[in-house]
Amino acid sequence: MSRPKPLSGFPELAPDARIVEQFVLDRLRETFELHGFGSIETRAVEPLDRLAKQGEIDKEVYAVQRVAAEPGSRAELGLHFDLTVPFARYVLENAGQLAFPFRRYQIQKVWRGERPQEGRYREFTQADIDIVDAGTLAAHHDVELPLVTLGALERLHTDLGVPPVLMRVNNRKLAQGFYLGLDIADPPAVLRQVDKLDKIGPDRVTALLTDEVGVSAAQAASVVRLAQISTPDESFVDRVRGLGVQHPQLDEGLELLAEVVRAARTHVPGRLVADLKIARGLDYYTGTVYETELVGFEGWGSISSGGRYDSLATDGRTTYPGVGLSIGVTRLLAPLLGRGFLRASRSVPTAVLVAVESEESRWDAVAVAEQLRARGIACEVAPRADRFGKQIRYADRRGIPFVWFGGADGEVKDIRSGDQVPATATAWTPPAADLRPQVGAAG
């Protein structure tokens, strides 16, 4: 059998990188749970027709079909491309058992058939938080979600040395109200073009608005002027008013966005700005929308995004509006790991290798290992009763810092310094920095 070739866009992590990822996921889980979010998991597949209704994403959906299906049969299921669409379906199916407002976090793989590049993958892990309610959802949750997400990302910055982030926030009611005030007939079509502003620039967006959406040159110019407003405070309100457009929905959007910016300046200063070009390409967003970049690595794109969705989940009688934010864990970590910005202090959880003097005494070594494990010390028993020098070299290759010799009352050697001291399996503990692999910025 020939050596298999890797599949582009489907990253697989080595053990040391996986330690970093688990460290990150643990910090995210802890932050989410501190704010009262409970964990759920949803299935990997959804009906294709539901996945294809969510904006310019249908060409990226992976269809699922049984290998043994009849020739010519059409696949009806697809792998979910985000966690919001399956969450909305989950809410509808389980509404009778949920306590509203329902707060959930979800960490799972998702799949998108887009062109692989740095920061963009076909299979990746997302960490989502959402709050959903029955009938109406209070506007203050639009403020709460970015504060929780920025708090989680700030913890990665302080604990691991991940670069700081900047969240850019807009409100679709603001944008759509502005477009309606300009007498534009199809605001969603305009939003989809504005969402491309960072990628293709204002001139190309202006051309798309006039050529494909059919707005006038004057309308397109006003749309682009609005999209180029960005402020770290509430001064964006006066700048929008200065454009001379009026509409009730515009007023509502301005007020909602100003509330988010005010709260962020108090609780996470310097981490959030109002940026009126942020649109988000998915059609289900109806209010506040968020995108987040690593400072200094803006070219990697958004590593956390989301928004308000008022009508994604409805059974015809009750609507379940929600607001959510997603952290692209793989998008965040893969480039940082690939470029050596983050590392683990060792590639295994093992802190101690228990040496084996002879195969006849192996179970004595196993008993020592069990005593250490009972006190939370990760250890393993040497695979072979080689000379002690070989066992030490084995530990060194594995990145294991300590080797234990003898029985429960034996000796332990720090193979980095060469220090060897008497130790008792029921009392000895490695230094705190060695008990678990440490994760941080490379340096």
Residues making up the annotated binding site for L-histidine are 82-84, 112, 126, 130, 280, 284-285
CA pair distance 138, 51, nearest whole angstrom: 27
Nearest to 275 by CA among 293, 264, 265, 290: 290
Strand partners, 288: 171
Segment 31-37 shows an average pLDDT of 98
236 in a structural domain: yes
Tell which residue, 332, 373, 336, has the closest CA to residue 354.
373
Domain count, the chain: 2
Are 314 and 384 within one domain? no
Do 264 and 302 share a domain, yes or no?
yes
State the pLDDT at residue 68. Answer: 64
Residue-level pLDDT at 307? 94
> pTM score, two decimals?
0.89
* Whether 166 and 288 share a structural domain: yes
Could you give the maximum distance between any two Cα atoms of the chain, in Å? 88
Final residue in a domain of this structure, among 295, 312, 343: 343
More confident residue, 284 or 79: 79
How far, in Å, CA of 334 to CA of 410, rounded? Answer: 42
In a domain, 90, yes or no: yes
Q: Is the pLDDT of residue 405 over 60?
A: yes
Residue 99 lies in a domain: yes
φ, ψ at 159 (rounded to 5°):
-85, -35
Specify binding-site residues: 82-84, 112, 126, 130, 280, 284-285
**Per-residue confidence (pLDDT) for residue 70, from 0 to 100:** 61
Are residues 87 and 203 both part of a single domain? yes
Closest among 267, 264, 279, 287 to 226, alpha carbons compared: 279
One-letter identity of residue 316:
G
- Taking the C-alpha atoms of residue 394 and residue 381, their distance in angstroms, rounded to an integer, is 11
Q: For residue 53, name the pLDDT band (cuts at 50, 70, 90).
A: low
Q: Which of 297, 320, 343 marks a domain boundary?
A: 343
Q: According to the model, what pLDDT value does residue 315 have?
A: 85
Q: Is residue 304 part of a domain?
A: yes
Q: What is the pLDDT of residue 60?
A: 83
Burial call 323-359: b when 16+ CB within 10 Å, e when fewer: bbbbbbbbbbbbbbbeeebbbbebbbbbbbbbbbbee
CATH code, 184 = 3.30.930.10
Task: Choose the weakest-confidence range: 139-143, 335-339, 370-374.
Answer: 335-339
One domain for residues 336 and 408:
no
Residue 167 and residue 150 in contact, taking contact as beta carbons nearer than 8 Å: yes
Q: What is the mean pLDDT of residues 113-124?
A: 84
User: Who's near 341: CB < 8 A, 6+ residues apart?
Assistant: 161, 163, 441, 442
Give the Cα separation of 300 and 12 in Å (integer): 19
For 74-105, the pLDDT digits (tens) are 668 999 999 988 999 999 999 999 999 999 99
End residue of a domain, out of 343, 372, 388: 343
* Judgement on whether residues 79 and 126 belong to the same structural domain of the protein: yes
Q: What is the residue type of 115?
A: R
Q: Can you give the pLDDT at residue 99?
A: 96
CA 140 – CA 149 distance, rounded (Å): 15
Answer yes or no: do 410 and 291 share one domain: no
Task: Give the range with max mean pLDDT: 51-65, 183-197, 252-266.
Answer: 252-266
CA distances from 4 to 12, 18, 124 (A): 14, 22, 21
The contacts of residue 350 (CB under 8 Å, 6+ apart) are 378, 379, 380, 398, 400
In a shared domain, residues 336 and 417 = no
Q: Is residue 27 part of a domain?
A: yes
Q: Which domain holds residue 437?
A: 352-441
Q: Does a structural domain hold residue 7?
A: no
Cα separation, 212 vs 228, whole angstroms? 21
How confident is the model over 168-182, as pLDDT tens digits? 999 999 999 999 999
State the Cα–Cα distance between residues 355 and 388, nearest whole angstrom: 7
Co-location of 339 and 361 in the same domain: no
Same domain assignment for residues 68 and 150: yes
Assess if residue 4 is contained within a domain. Answer: no
164 lies in the same domain as 121 = yes
Q: Which strand ranges, in their side-by-side order, compose the sheet holding 45-47?
A: 45-47, 77-79, 63-64
What pLDDT does 1 receive? 61
Quote the percentage of the chain above a pLDDT of 70: 95
Tell me whether residue 50 is in a domain. Answer: yes
Q: Say what the pLDDT of residue 326 is.
A: 96
Tell me, yes or no, whether 212 and 285 share the same domain.
yes
C-alpha 409/C-alpha 413 separation (Å) is: 14
Contact between residue 299 and residue 334 where contact means Cβ atoms under 8 Å apart: no
Q: 67 pLDDT exceeds 80?
A: no
| Domain CATH code at residue 390 | 3.40.50.800
